[in-house]
Structure 1
Amino acid sequence: MSARHHKIGIKHVIRLEWMDKTLDMMLAGLSAKEIRNELDIFLSDKKQSGGTGERDTQAYKKAVTNLMLTWCTPEKALIPFRDDVLAIAKTTPISERIPLHWAMISAAYPFWFGVAKQIGRLLNLQSQITKKQIIQRLKEEYGDRETISRFSRYVIRSFVAWDILEDASVKGNYLQKKKIPTDQKQVAVLAESTLLSTIESSHALKNIMDSSSLFAFNISPISGDYLLKKQSAN
């Protein structure tokens, strides 16, 4: 168990194109210092909505921190996993990277995983869900803190920015977009990320694949033997 399992961490909307920018720099071999400097410049005029304009310095630096701790300087225990995901990213088209980004940010910030889990559970019950319902469930798990309400909104808006959820006609209501397809390598990454995102040390394969935290994905079939071979190769 790590301290990351207990912290909220996500203090800014994280847009998909920012994740791609960070990953591209990692794949290009830039150092962590170079990537941070580039992100400081790149995000200095980027708004959470996707537009540009004058920004408060402290606001965008929170996003820089999230991006760095996800891809560039994760917790030491996550570095082997990050390196495995980087190897897959080298041959993954940019349009198919969402499972890789999701796996990394869930492992680095389990609160992202926790929000996804509650959203997935709600979507199993109804086609349209509300921010109030999501936050209520999160408070039951993490405690009734003001930070839960504020930071969960950043994660929810990130899901919308990633085209995983969409705003319904009523404000504060959300619908699920089309599930994202996955291949075996991506499913294996998502499965390992699920283990890294939870405090429990082990789960049955079926429970991992059926996890509500993976609601955004169309999970392709995968065998336990495939996962074992992958772990042996590592």
Structure 2
Amino acid sequence: MTTSLPHIGFDRYIKLEWAATALKVRAGLTSIDELNALLASENLGKEALGKTQTKLNGLWLAPRSVLLDFADRGAAILKASPATSAVALTWGMALASYPFFAKLAEQVGRLTALQDDCSTAEVHRRMNEVYGEREITRRAGQAVLQTHENWGVIERIEKGRRLRRRPAIRVDDPQLVTWLIEAALRCLGKPLALSSVQTLPVLFPFSLEGSLAFLASGSAHIELRSEGPHNQFIALREGA
């Protein structure tokens, strides 16, 4: 019996400028024509352009129905404060939208947790264990790592053989902090110990500021649970 491998949905290099412009379109801060003009200036070729537009649709322009409200709330954060990090918002949307992106982010976060760097080969090896040792897995992995590099969260060293974390992006907007935590809950699909949130591998590019217990308790989309005096967990509220 053949076991089907997980679908790889994110297999393109996506520049932050493209994703940030798509986010602005969703927030009503620019037009789709501006995004189309930006993409046209890249001379991507017909096939590459179509695939790039598909990824931007999945991120911001036409997300899955279950993520529409989540995307709208992310766009509202940007609209209320245009200086908000486009990296943080698009990272959160990518985690929630694309399991392959989330799994690779998790592997990079885990492997760089102790020494801030890891081998590229080890990242690919771990992805092969989940998605199969096939050309599409490696090609998609390379595209996502290139995307991470362009978004400024990692850098390649030793002629690309190793990856190193860039300094963490400080996130102190309470709405953005809870929105990112919600993104992590959505991609991981399970309740999380509150004490683990600050060091979640999938959120490795960010330093979340403030009392997470206080922020979670005030969220309409995150449920804070207590199991004993020292064990607190967070989960998505039912229907969120």
Give me the TM-score of the superposition, normalised by structure 1: 0.83
Q: 2:178 aligns with which of 171, 188, 191?
A: 188
- Cα RMSD for the two superposed structures: 2.3
Amino acid at match of 2:11: K
| Paired residues, number | 217
Offset of residue 126 of structure 1: 3.0
Question: 1:1-234, aligned counterparts within 5 Å?
Answer: 6-28=6-28, 35=32, 39-46=35-42, 54-94=43-83, 96-183=85-172, 184-198=174-188, 200-231=189-220
The one-letter code sitting in structure 1 at the alignment partner of 2:177 is V
Say if 1:148 and 1:96 are closer, same or farther in 2 by CA, change over 3 A. same
The alpha-carbon deviation at position 38 of structure 1 amounts to: 5.2
Runs (4 or more) in structure 1 with deviation over 3 Å come to 37-41
Find the aligned partners of 1:117 and 1:87 in 2 and give their Cα distance.
Answer: 27
How far the C-alpha of 1:92 sits from its partner, in A, is 2.6
Q: Deviations over 1:79-119 (max 9, x none)?
A: 11112112111123346222111111111112111111100
Cα distance in 2 for residues equivalent to 1:167 and 1:95: 26
Q: Hey, which of these two has a bigger chunk of strand by percent? A: 2
The question of whether the paired residues in 2 share the 8 Å contact of 1:104 and 1:193 is answered with yes
The answer (yes or no) to whether the contact 2:156–2:164 under 8 Å persists in 1 is yes
Deviations 1:46-78 (A, max 9, x none): 1xxxxxxx4321112211111111112111111
User: Closer, same or farther in 2 for the Cα pair 1:204/1:95, shift >3 Å?
Assistant: closer
- Label 1:208 to 1:92 Cα distance change in 2 as closer, same or farther (>3 A): same
Aligned residues with identical type, % of pairs: 27
Structure 1 runs not aligned, ≥5 long: 1-5, 47-53
Report if the CA contact (8 A) 1:43-1:60 is conserved.
yes
- Could you say if the C-alpha distance between residues 80 and 144 of structure 1 is closer, same or farther in structure 2, counting changes exceeding 3 Å? same
CA contact (8 A) 1:11 1:63 kept: no
Task: Kindly indicate whether structure 1 or structure 2 has the higher relative contact order, using CA contacts under 8 Å at least 6 residues apart.
Answer: 1
Give the whole-Å Cα distance in 2 for the aligned partners of 1:127 and 1:188: 25
In 2, the alpha carbon distance for the partners of 1:96 and 1:232 equals: 21
Q: Which has the higher helix share?
A: 1
* Residue identity matched to 2:136: T
Q: Matched residues in 2 for 1:119 and 1:192: separation?
A: 20
Larger radius of gyration: 2
Give, in whole Å, the separation in 2 of the partners of 1:208 and 1:95: 21
- Measured in 2, the distance between the counterparts of 1:105 and 1:128 equals 22
| TM, length-normalised to structure 2 | 0.81
User: Aligned to 1:8, what secondary structure does the other structure show?
Assistant: coil
CA contact (8 A) 2:182 2:221 kept: no
Q: Is the 8 A contact 1:187 1:222 kept in 2?
A: no
The residue that corresponds to 1:50 in the other structure is none
